[in-house]
Amino acid sequence: MPGRRGVDDGIAESALRLLRTRGPQSVTVEAVTADSGIAKTTIYRRHRDRRDMLSAALSRLVSPEPLSPQADTAERLRWLIKNAIAAIDDGIGFGGFASLLTEDDPDFSSVFRRILVDQRAQLVRVIDECRADGTMRADIDAETLIDAIVGAHIAERARTGRVETDWAERLFAMFWPAVHA
């Protein structure tokens, strides 16, 4: 029998899998039970309701991987691209993103937007450091750059139904001349 940590991981992984593939309204205690094999009573011992369960699962998504302090400007921009889209690819998936846009699950939207603020703050901090040390143009608006990266990612998926493996490098090539100091 898995320990508490294994059960908590199983609940979160199942909730995120359902979110990514079918959207937040599919994340119910019953669906997580069916997907994970974890008893409903066990889930309710850990989470008071669906919102609490979804919030706990989403809270695992907030931290981008650390950026090396020795990273040059090109590495910083590649890191930024990778981590700006991670909230969708490795986070809520396109099912969750679609729901966020349509506001069809206000509980989910509220929880995820709160988490997104923390994640974006880390990305903005890296852009601010680049502007401060002169490796990125001083007039770059951090929020707009992040939105442009995420928007391009979403547009690529909408246009082709997938995101090609070279997409991030193509995006880097497009943004590099615009942001490099």
Residues comprising the chain, all counted: 181
Convert the pLDDT of each residue in 147-160 to its tens digit.
Answer: 999 999 999 988 98
Cβ atoms < 10 Å from Cβ of 168: 17
Contact 54, 63 (CB under 8 A): no
pLDDT of residue 89: 81
- Tokens linked to 167: 């997409």
pLDDT at res. 2: 55
- The gap between the terminal CA atoms of the chain, to the nearest Å, is 56
Instruction: Provide mean pLDDT across the span 88-113.
Output: 82
Q: In Å, what is the CA distance from 52 to each residue of 62, 71, 110, 111? A: 16, 38, 12, 9
Tell me the residue type at 125: R
Beta bridge partners of 180: 136
Residue 171, pLDDT score:
95
Task: State the average pLDDT over residues 59-75.
Answer: 82
pLDDT of residue 51: 86
Asked if residue 21 has pLDDT above 90, the reply is: no
Domain boundaries, the chain: 4-59, 63-179
User: Within 10 A of 20 (CB to CB), how many other CB atoms are there?
Assistant: 19
Q: What percent of the chain has pLDDT over 90?
A: 47
| Rounded (10°) CA dihedral 116, 120, 146, 64 | -100
Confidence bin at 69 (pLDDT 50/70/90): confident
Q: What is the pTM of this model?
A: 0.78
- Look at residue 1 and tell me whether its pLDDT is greater than 50: no
Q: Judge whether 76 and 130 are in contact, CB under 8 Å.
A: yes
Q: Give strand ranges (E) for 31-170.
A: none
Per-residue pLDDT band at 4 (split at 50, 70, 90): low
CATH number of 4-59: 1.10.10.60
Rg (CA), the chain: 18
